[in-house]
RNA sequence: GCGAGGGUAGCCAAGUGGUCAAAGGCGUCUGACUCAAGAUCAGAUCACGAAGGUGUUCGCGGGUUCGACUCCCUCCCCUCGCACCA
């Protein structure tokens, strides 16, 4: 029989019963509401996604068994531009897109043909997600599912944004973005063909006046303006004269295009050749009259295409100047040093170039040299006294302000690396958007609210707190609207769509009413309706008041949510955004209570990536190994916040363990034999596993919980089997039945299919999913039994280790127990924190004194022995005073069976072998002959 | 570069001042079962050892301490994030 099919494929009636069980309804029970970031369904689920939803599912199942009313909902985030790009690529038969969707995601050809409409992509994959999530055994309440472009959800988003606007958090502003002039839209990382690492840099334009107009030179180091000795122009290039915001400038043609995207009013007046500018004199108040010199390294496509020259501090400038001077020109120009750097003289660039032995401007080492000089000056440089004497870092800011305030300088944005190319093959430029809407995350009061809320929240693991706080501080205004994509339009400016990260911040509230709200026609869902449901502001004329009352109650039942789960890469945006939005809209008592941050997934040691084909689809994993195996492997692969590695070779062994577990449970449930002396030990240990496993689950330590509740129990059972001589089937002790009942329920959240089937065999078809979670039975805790078995196990280990070493053929094993007086010393040593006066104290006892050196040796031996025992074991040992003799007599048969030797147990003094004297409390002497 | 986290035996990984030669898993080896292989079960797996022991290890190098995988410092390496994108 193929056990996997019956156990893990999920019989139809079980799936039906689960579906009903997981539909959450407000009740008298305490609630537990957890949410996971909903998926963007643009492709098939892989095992990495699997873990994101399985870990919360295990938590959800745990709390459901703890008799809480659990809500675990799911929806689909279909807002944004990516699917539009995908559909375009499929429409134009882009081979890599076709391969990805047809071969890797295995989309049928007839379905793929419909993907030219982006809606069909998200619809198809939403269904796929739901199907695979269900197969994975996720206890999701599907009655509340929705997509983010449904009309009712859009109404909800409109309500949210009205509130944000009214609170003053949505503002219009100017902001530099990467912009594709052909798509007429900002471009994100994934829309780039080339240049995805390019950063937008802020150049200060220093305006030099000339007869022809201003000549703007871009610089990242405005503080060096005092050391400018000349300008550089490319004599091979044609420049343009432009009128910009009323001034006349000379810039490269490329620069004119760029500046026109940066919020300036520009008119081209004519052209002017680079060579024409050579030797003209320009002026700036901070450096005086200087000439324009020719240089081939000047790139017209870099900033303005004109460069100011600071030969003392810029290697390129120095070498270009030196080249000219070697030809006998401009010999009157000397570098002006203005920054003092440790390890350099007056002109660091000059020294660096000369000592590196660079001979011309095209030497590739110049780039590296420039980097070195720049970072040295930035990190440790100080302006010379004449120029203010401040550190470069500070002077840079100050000079920049002086330049903009008094010398007409403005900012120009430019990429640090080029080219940057859009997927449409067009060049991407920096554009300053001025009619863009922003969420003002820079607002200090808002930030403060979020900080305060974070303090009240439970963050798991605690280490992420620093990152959250830092993100809040670092966040700047967020451009929250787009021209293209799917989504909801901004209610007061419908030209704009609300951007995906911004429409997914308070939807956890929407889940609470997502099922009921469907009963109201979406056209009636005015902001007033949501004001009542979420904020309790009742107004006249609301539709269906009874239903709204019910929704209001349901919202208040579930909210605030208990925990939100998401991968750690969302800390710097989504996870923090959602706190901002909650703070802006909801009253304090409804604000989020906790977050759990996940690690990332690897596949066989390499990063999982759909585009590189390094993925293992969740559905394939479920088909190959079974849902329970996938679940248990993912839980066991690390704590939720740790990165994990999916490895097929390890997964196969997980499957074996589950099969073994199922067989064990079945045989335990059949057991009906007489009780065994080791039974109390087994049941006592189980209480410890229940306590530790429960505590781990409560702290989201699912891996630790799996260890306690599965592997540690299994290890106990192994020892139990060994002790009882593997009594199997019906003859095994009947306590195994209750043992199995506890064990089964402990493991049920992790491997529900297996446990559900096993549970129903003996529980009249009731579901383990709603069975009560095991509680610690204090009456079953038996410290003496645990101490005794621990001693026995340690002794067995010692015997094994001796047998391994000795080369004689053993025939007889003797165990000699330590005398009573050694116990006395043992407990005195155990209870004495430092043993300086200990020997004195012990010697006050006459009988001890008489033993002389023997006493002293025993104190030393006990001290080192105690040192090797766990502290809590020692304290129970001192209290319990178990009878070692009785223990070993009872275990005599076991020892004889284990080692196939005759075993004799001696009380202290009964054995006269010299080794018998080495017996210590909790460490009997072992004599093998 | 900036911010956050991390480097533990063949591999993955637990461990935050003495319970540590260091849990657990994988791999490997040995035994049992088997005609055999596989599966399963038991044991071993840093080195040395004819008695339960000893020696040397936890990224590199220093320091604090009677004692450090654990605390402090320098350095090296890895992962994640750095914004208009899910």
- Specify the higher pLDDT residue, A435 or A127: A127
DSSP per residue, A682-719: HHHHHHHHHHHHHHHHHTT-HHHHHIIIIIHHHHHHHH
**C-alpha span between A189 and A419 (Å, rounded):** 14
User: What is the distance in angstroms measured between the alpha-carbon CA of A196 and the sugar C1' of B77?
Assistant: 25
The Cα–Cα gap between A926 and A929 comes to 10
A653/B10 CA-to-C1' distance in Å = 19
**What number of CA atoms fall less than 13 Å from residue A323's CA on the CB side?**
17
DSSP-assigned letter for residue A73: B
pLDDT of residue A68: 96
Tokens describing residue A382: 């100080």
> What's the per-residue H, E or C state across A181-237?
CCCCEECCHHHEEECCCCCEEEEEEEEEEECCEEEEEEECCHHHHHHCCEEEECCCC
CB A440 within 8 A of CB A480: no
Asked whether A842 and A855 are in contact (CB, 8 A), the reply is yes
Cβ contact A870 with chain B strand, < 7 A: yes
The Å distance, CA of A765 to C1' of B59, is 55
- What pLDDT is attached to residue A8? 45
Spatial distance from the CA of A634 to the C1' of B29 (Å) = 29
Q: Which of A193-197, A328-332, A338-342, A925-929 has the lowest mean pLDDT?
A: A193-197
The C1' atom of B5 and the CA atom of A463 lie apart, in whole Å, by 8
Residues in CB range of A739: below 8 A, 6 or more apart: A668, A682, A683, A686
Return the ∠ at Cα A764 (arms to A758 and A768), rounded to 5°.
50
Q: A636 CA, B8 C1': separation in Å?
A: 19
Does residue A7 surpass a pLDDT of 50?
Answer: no
Q: Does any strand B atom come closer than 7 Å to the Cβ of A79?
A: yes
* Strand B closer than 7 A to residue A838 Cβ: no
Q: What pLDDT, in 10s, does the model give residues A317-353?
A: 898 898 889 888 888 888 888 888 777 788 888 888 8
Q: Which nucleotide is nearest to A644 (CA to C1')?
A: B12
The CB density around residue A619, as the number of other CB atoms within 10 Å, is 20
> What integer pLDDT is reported at residue A331 of this predicted model?
85
Residues A410-436, mean pLDDT to the nearest whole number = 83
Spanning CA of A798 to C1' of B63, the rounded length in angstroms is: 39
pLDDT of res. A773: 96
A119 has pLDDT over 90: yes
Between these two residues, A407 and A914, which has the higher pLDDT value?
Answer: A407
Bases of chain B below 7 A from a protein C-beta are 3-6, 12-14, 18-21, 23-27, 39-44, 49-52, 79-86
Q: Which of the four pLDDT bands, split at 50, 70 and 90, describes residue A917?
A: confident
Nucleotide minimizing C1' to CA distance for residue A80: B86
**Residue numbers 540-559 of A with CB closer than 7 A to any atom of strand B:** none
Q: What strand order describes the sheet that includes A902-906?
A: A902-906, A812-816, A925-928
Separation between Cα atoms, residue A778 and residue A781, nearest integer Å: 5
| Close Cβ partners of A373 (under 8 Å, ≥ 6 residues apart) | A313, A314, A315, A348, A349, A352
pTM comes to 0.85
Assess whether A185 (CB) lies less than 7 A from strand B: yes
Closest to A555 (Cα-Cα) out of A538, A536, A534, A539: A534
Mean pLDDT of chain A: 87
Q: Are strands A192-194 and A266-273 parallel, antiparallel or unpaired?
A: unpaired
Nearest nucleotide over every DNA/RNA strand to the A500 CA, judged by C1': B86
| Cα distances (angstroms) measured from residue A387 to each of A336, A369, A382, A383, A392 | 12, 25, 10, 6, 11
Q: Is the CB of A900 under 7 A from strand B?
A: no
What's the CA gap between A586 and A560, in Å, rounded?
Answer: 9
Q: What is the largest CA-CA distance in chain A?
A: 117
CA distance A597 to A108: 35
Find the range with the poorest average confidence among A158-172, A245-259, A680-694, A834-848: A834-848
Render pLDDT for A39-63 as a digit per residue (tens, 0 to 9): 999 999 988 889 999 999 999 999 9
648-707 on A, CB < 7 Å from strand B: 649-650, 653, 656-657, 660, 707
Which nt sits closest to A721, CA to C1'? B41
3-state secondary structure of A610: coil
Q: Give this complex's ipTM.
A: 0.91
CA dihedral A515, A520, A523, A525 (to 10 degrees): -70
Beta-carbon-side half-sphere exposure of residue A785 (alpha carbons within 13 Å)? 17
Cβ of A721 near strand B (under 7 Å)? The reply is yes
Q: Which residue has the higher pLDDT, A908 or A674?
A: A674
pLDDT at residue A787, rounded to an integer: 87
CA–C1' nearest nucleotide, residue A808? B50
C-alpha closest to that of A169 among A426, A442, A405, A391: A442
A802 has pLDDT over 80:
yes
Q: Which residues pair with A284 in a beta bridge?
A: A288
SS3 at position A635? helix
Does position A370 have pLDDT exceeding 70, yes or no? yes
Q: How confident is the model at residue A9 (pLDDT cuts 50, 70, 90)?
A: very low
* pLDDT value for A250: 95
* Proximity of residue A915 CB to strand B below 7 A: yes
**Which residue has tokens 């008119």?**
A267
Query: Residues A500-503: contacts with CB within 8 Å, 24+ apart?
Result: A500/A40, A500/A77, A500/A79, A500/A80, A501/A573, A501/A574, A501/A577, A502/A439, A502/A478, A502/A577, A503/A79, A503/A148, A503/A157
What is the DSSP pairing of strand A601-603 with strand A563-567?
A: unpaired
Strand B close residues, chain A 577-606, CB < 7 angstroms: 600
DSSP letter at A852 equals T
Predicted local distance difference test score (pLDDT) of residue A340:
84
CA-atom Rg of chain A in angstroms: 38
Contact A283, A289 (CB under 8 A): yes
Q: Rounded to an integer, what distance in angstroms lies between the CA atom of residue A787 and that of residue A922?
A: 9
The pLDDT value given to residue A841: 74
Residue A23 is predicted with a pLDDT of: 96
Rounded distance, CA A618 to CA A343, Å?
58
* Three-state secondary structure readout of A496-565: CEECHHHCCCCHHHHHCCCCHHHHCCHHHCCHHHHHHHHHCCCCCCCCCHHHHHHHHHHHHHHCCCCEEE
Distance A470 CA to B4 C1' (A): 9
Measured distance CA(A880)–CA(A867) in Å, rounded: 19
Strand order in the sheet with A170-180: A185-186, A170-180, A428-439, A478-479
Measured from Cα to the C1' atom, the residue closest to B52 is A798
Q: Name the least confident of A20-29, A369-378, A456-465.
A: A369-378
Q: Which helix (H) or strand (E) holds A651?
A: helix A648-670
Cβ count near A174 (within 10 Å): 12
Mean pLDDT (whole number) for A147-169: 95
Residues contacting A669, CB < 8 A, separation 6+ = A736, A737, A740, A758, A761, A762
Say yes or no to pLDDT of A87 above 50: yes
Least confident of A4-18, A131-145, A755-769, A909-923: A4-18
What angle, rounded to 10 degrees, do the helices at A545-558 and A527-535 form?
Answer: 50
- For residue A664, the model assigns a pLDDT of 87
Which distant-in-sequence residues (6+ apart) come within 8 Å of A880 by Cβ? A783, A784, A787
Q: Which residue has the higher pLDDT, A634 or A848?
A: A634
Cβ contact A485 with chain B strand, < 7 A:
yes
Nearest to A743, CA basis, from A712, A767, A709: A709
């Amino acid at each position: 029989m193929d056990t996997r099919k019956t156990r893990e494929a999920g019989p139809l009636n079980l799936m039906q019963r689960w579906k009903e069980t997981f539909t959450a309804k407000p009740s008298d029970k305490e609630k537990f509401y957890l949410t996971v970031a909903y998926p963007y369904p643009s492709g098939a689920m892989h095992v990495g996604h699997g873990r994101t939803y399985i870990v919360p599912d295990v938590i959800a199942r745990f709390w459901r068994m703890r008799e809480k009313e659990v809500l675990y909902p799911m929806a689909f985030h279909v807002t944004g531009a990516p699917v539009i790009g995908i559909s375009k690529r499929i429409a134009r038969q882009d081979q890599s897109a076709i391969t990805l969707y047809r071969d890797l995601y295995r989309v049928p050809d007839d379905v793929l043909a419909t993907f030219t409409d982006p809606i069909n992509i998200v619809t198809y994959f939403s269904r796929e997600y739901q199907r695979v999530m269900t197969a994975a055994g996720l206890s999701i309440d599907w009655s509340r599912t929705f997509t983010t472009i449904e009309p009712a959800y859009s109404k909800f988003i409109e309500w949210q944004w009205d509130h944000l606007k009214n609170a003053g958090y949505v503002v219009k502003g100017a902001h530099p973005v990467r912009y594709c002039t052909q798509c007429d839209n900002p471009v994100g990382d994934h829309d780039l063909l080339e240049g995805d690492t390019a950063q937008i840099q802020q150049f200060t334009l220093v305006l030099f006046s000339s007869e022809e107009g201003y000549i703007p030179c871009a610089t990242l180091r405005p503080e060096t303006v005092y050391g400018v000795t000349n300008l550089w122009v490319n004599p091979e290039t044609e420049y343009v004269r432009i009128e910009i915001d009323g001034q006349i400038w000379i810039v490269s043609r490329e620069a004119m295009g760029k500046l026109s995207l940066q919020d300036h009013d520009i008119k081209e007046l004519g052209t002017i050749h680079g060579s024409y500018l050579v030797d003209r004199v320009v002026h700036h108040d901070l450096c005086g009259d200087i000439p324009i010199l020719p240089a081939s390294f000047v790139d017209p496509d870099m900033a303005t295409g004109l460069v100011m020259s600071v030969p003392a501090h810029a290697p390129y400038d120095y070498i270009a100047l030196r080249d000219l001077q070697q030809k006998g020109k401009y010999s009157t120009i000397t570098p002006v040093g203005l920054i003092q750097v440790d390890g350099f003289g007056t002109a660091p660039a000059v020294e660096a170039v000369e000592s590196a032995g660079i001979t011309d401007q095209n030497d590739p080492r110049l780039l590296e040299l420039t980097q070195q000089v720049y970072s040295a000056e930035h990190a440790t440089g100080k302006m010379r006294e004449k120029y203010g004497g401040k550190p470069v870092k500070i002077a840079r800011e100050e000079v920049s302000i002086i330049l903009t305030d008094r010398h007409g300088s403005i900012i120009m944005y430019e990429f640090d690396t080029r080219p940057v190319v859009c997927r449409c093959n067009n060049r991407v430029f920096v554009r300053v958007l001025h009619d863009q809407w922003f969420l003002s995350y820079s607002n200090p009061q808002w930030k403060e609210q979020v900080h305060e809320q974070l303090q009240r929240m439970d963050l798991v693991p605690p280490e992420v707190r620093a990152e959250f706080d830092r993100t809040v501080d670092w966040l700047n205004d967020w451009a929250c609207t787009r021209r293209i994509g799917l989504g909801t339009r901004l209610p007061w400016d419908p030209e704009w769509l609300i951007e995906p990260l911004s429409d997914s911040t308070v939807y956890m509230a929407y889940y609470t009413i997502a099922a009921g709200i469907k009963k109201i026609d979406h056209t009636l869902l005015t902001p007033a309706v949501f004001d009542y449901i979420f904020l309790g502001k009742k107004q006249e004329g609301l539709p269906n008041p009874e239903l709204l009352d019910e929704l209001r109650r349901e919202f208040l039942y579930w909210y605030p949510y208990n925990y939100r789960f998401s991968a750690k890469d969302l800390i710097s945006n989504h996870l923090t955004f959602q706190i901002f939005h909650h703070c802006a809209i909801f009253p304090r008592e409804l604000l989020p209570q906790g977050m759990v941050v996940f690690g990332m997934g690897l596949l066989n040691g390499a990063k999982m990536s759909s585009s590189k084909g390094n993925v293992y689809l969740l559905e394939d994993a479920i088909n190959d190994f079974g849902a329970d195996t996938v679940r248990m492997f993912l839980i066991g692969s690390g704590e939720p916040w740790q990165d994990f590695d999916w490895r097929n070779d390890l997964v196969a062994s997980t499957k074996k363990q589950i099969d073994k577990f199922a067989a064990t449970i079945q045989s335990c449930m059949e057991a009906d034999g007489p009780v065994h002396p080791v039974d109390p030990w087994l049941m006592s240990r189980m209480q410890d596993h229940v306590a530790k496993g429960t505590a781990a689950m409560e702290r989201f330590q699912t891996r630790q919980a799996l260890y306690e509740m599965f592997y540690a129990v299994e290890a106990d059972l192994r020892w139990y089997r060994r002790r009882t001589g593997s009594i199997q089937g019906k003859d095994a002790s009947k306590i195994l039945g209750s043992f199995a009942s506890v064990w089964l329920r402990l493991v049920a959240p992790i491997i529900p299919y297996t446990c559900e089937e096993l549970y129903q065999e003996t529980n009249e078809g009731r579901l383990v999913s709603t069975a009560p979670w095991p509680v610690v039975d204090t009456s079953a805790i038996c410290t003496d039994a645990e101490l005794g078995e621990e001693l026995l196990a340690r002794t067995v280990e010692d015997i094994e280790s001796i047998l391994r070493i000795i080369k004689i053929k053993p025939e007889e094993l003797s165990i000699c127990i330590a005398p009573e007086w050694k116990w006395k010393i043992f407990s005195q040593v155990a209870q004495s924190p430092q043993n300086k006066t200990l020997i004195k104290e012990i010697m006050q006892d006459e009988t001890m004194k008489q033993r002389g050196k023997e006493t002293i040796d025993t104190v030393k031996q006990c001290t080192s022995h105690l040192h090797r025992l766990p502290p809590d074991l020692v304290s129970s040992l001192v209290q319990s005073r178990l009878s070692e003799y009785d223990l070993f007599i009872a275990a005599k048969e076991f020892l004889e069976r284990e080692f196939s030797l005759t075993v004799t147990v001696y009380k202290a003094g009964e054995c006269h072998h010299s080794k018998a004297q080495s017996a210590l409390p909790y460490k009997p002497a072992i004599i093998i002959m």
